[in-house]
Structure 1
Amino acid sequence: MNTKTTTAMDTVAGRIYAAIKEQIIDGRYPPGGRITEQQVAAEFNTSRTPVREAMRQLVADGFARFKPNSGTVVREWSPEEMRQIFELRVFIESEIAGYAATRITAEELTALTRIQDDIELNGPDIGTDNTARIGRLNREFHRIVAEASRNERLVSMLASAIEVPIVQQTFRQYTTKRLARSFGHHRELLDAFATHDSAWAKSVMSSHIHSAKQTVLGDKSHGST
């Protein structure tokens, strides 16, 4: 996130920005859906001035686009754009996992284990509420892995890619089988971290993200599986 957004986070516009961004990620505002100033102002009981600023920032950060005669709409991503995003994640996040394996603390490993326990609380339930809950916990899981790498440059490179809404919406496209497989990847990653095996961690993270890519792009390319 850029400096402008960080500064704005302490303002009304910043709080609206953060809330709407989370709603986009969680799917309340679907790709192509309109976000109206009137609707947002009513939701937050505020004037339209901070709403306009929040909307401008959502557009600037790639979460929405302004269309003449339509207003602000949630950004839609082409299959090729999504493929590039996932390939970027494979490259960067696998390296992050490798660094994390050799630098992770006992406290961080405990935190990751606790989060994964919470992720699996309801089993591979693919209901809307559970997948939204899992999505939020998954972001925290990957954030801690990134911090554990102690590699600020790689983490900075990854930040924009992992906040792209289409990536965060992956869990809503999972079948029960795919969700269970994702759980397994996380558990194996924890094993690799516990043994401080960098190569193992990189391999598991690569498989994990390739699997997520297939979940999103496979259905678009070949129909539902």
Structure 2
Amino acid sequence: MVTAVPIDREILADNIAASVYAAVRAKAVSHAFLPGERLNEGELARELNVSRTPLREALYRLTTEGFLRNVAGKGFFFRNLDPKELFSLYELRTALEVAATQLAIERASDEQIHALAEVVREEGAGEACTQKELIAQDERFHTHLVALAGNLEMSRVLDNINARIQFVRWMDIGATTRKAAHHDHNKIVAVLARRDFDTCCALLKKHIERRQDEIVAAAHARVGQLYTERAARAQA
């Protein structure tokens, strides 16, 4: 006779909550919701085949992380496109990576820096790739760079920033921009290997920072794309 293994309901609930959070976060990052759009909780729960409880947990968590906003008595809304917020996120990213680089210079081994240089070399030598792949490559570089600081909280903050600015990054990337990005990465790693913080800091700032008007222009262009894509799906 086979003895039934008891189900740990708490673990099961945690797994469901984590799965729902990941699914809704992916929708927020990819802009499956339009800026300022109110989320239909009932429809979203049916789509994900879950009850309202884990969905609510996910929505509240995403609200604290800056992806959604909760209006008392009205529900959850996708955040509006705020150019000032985007500019602030880029400033935060710059400050975070500069601080992480200082720690990396103090803590990272030569082998760890060499491993990052190899990643940059391999990606730069690869075939032409899509815009999505280029963004992923750039995020991987900066994720590895911050990881060299040996500070998990810095890495977590960078992950949140990347997710929140991803939809406005590199709107019209081309071969020249791709070469420039890999050139910047190579220069940053080379200076990092020399433990030259001042030069590394200057290169990072130049590589990351965007003028506010450029961010605004990219943000507005992306909003136009989102509405066009939504209309095209509705007509299909």
Query: Which residue of the partner structure matches residue 40 of structure 2?
Result: 36
Count residues with an aligned counterpart. Answer: 208
- Gap change, CA 1:9 and 1:84, over 3 Å in 2: farther
Contact 2:68 2:77 in 1 (8 A): yes
Matched residue type, 1:199: D
Query: Which residue of the partner structure matches residue 200 of structure 1?
Result: 199
- For residue 118 of structure 2, the aligned residue among 108, 113, 118 is 113
Query: Which residue of the partner structure matches residue 142 of structure 1?
Result: 142
Q: Which runs of 5+ in 1 are unaligned?
A: 1-6
Q: Quick check: 1:78 aligned with 2:77?
A: no
Name the SS for the 1:72 alignment partner: strand
Matched residue type, 2:67: F
- Gap change, CA 1:148 and 1:156, over 3 Å in 2: closer
Query: Which residue of the partner structure matches residue 210 of structure 1?
Result: 209
Matched residue type, 1:188: K
- CA RMSD, 1 decimal: 3.6
Query: Which residue of the partner structure matches residue 168 of structure 2?
Result: 170
Question: Percent identical across equivalent pairs?
Answer: 21
- Gap change, CA 1:116 and 1:22, over 3 Å in 2: farther
Name the SS for the 2:66 alignment partner: coil
Aligned-pair distance for 1:38?
Answer: 3.4
Q: Quick check: 1:24 aligned with 2:28?
A: yes
Greater Rg over alpha carbons, structure: 2
Q: Which runs of 5+ in 2 are unaligned?
A: 1-10, 221-236
In 2, the alpha carbon distance for the partners of 1:77 and 1:9 equals: 33
In 1, the alpha carbon distance for the partners of 2:77 and 2:121 equals: 34
Deviations 1:96-154 (A, max 9, x none): 2233234333245414632674487453x5xxxx333333443332222112123567x
In 1, the alpha carbon distance for the partners of 2:46 and 2:156 equals: 36
Deviations 1:52-107 (A, max 9, x none): 22112112221112347864222124222222222222223223223323433324
- TM-score for the superposition, normalised by structure 1: 0.71
Matched residue type, 1:114: V
Aligned-pair distance for 1:206?
Answer: 0.6
In 2, the alpha carbon distance for the partners of 1:9 and 1:172 equals: 38
In 2, the alpha carbon distance for the partners of 1:30 and 1:104 equals: 41
Contact 2:107 2:148 in 1 (8 A): yes
Contact 2:117 2:186 in 1 (8 A): no
Aligned-pair distance for 1:209?
Answer: 1.2
Matched residue type, 1:31: P
